[in-house]
Amino acid sequence: MKSGATTLNLPDNIKIVRDEIPGLSCGDCKSHKVIQVVFIFIKSKFGDITSDPFLICASCASQNVGRNCPECGIFNRVKDDKRDEVYCKPCGLVLTRNKIIQY
């Protein structure tokens, strides 16, 4: 067993680039184990051709992950499609507006 490695059964074409990033949580299972991965398009001996890194939950593989709210410390975001913004459900803090600030 690899020490410190995340015990998520990832498909072969997903590679972990960063183990457990502090301050992030999963919006689905509320786990704090969020990892950064890349999707490998082509494996070659000269190096893999991969996607840009993205974040997933190491417990449930959800991509509904993000930074904990700076106000209340909880990750529970709600998207308001009418106003095109994402806000924190427990405290109401607006986290993104028009996709300029990305959390």
| Binding residues for Zn ion, total number by CB under 5 A | 14
Cα→Cα distances 71→14, 22, 31, 90, 102, Å: 33, 16, 19, 10, 16
**Range list of H helices, 1-103:** none
Which of 59, 66, 77, 86 lies at the binding interface for Zn ion (CB under 5 A)?
59
Which of 35, 56, 69, 86 lies at the binding interface for Zn ion (CB under 5 A)?
69
Nearer to Zn ion, 38 or 66 (CB): 66
Find the binding residues for Zn ion in span 14-33 (CB under 5 A): 26, 28-29, 31
What distance in Å separates the CA atoms of residue 26 and residue 81, rounded to the nearest whole number?
21
Interface positions with Zn ion (CB under 5 A): 26, 28-29, 31, 57, 59-60, 62, 69, 71-72, 88, 91, 93
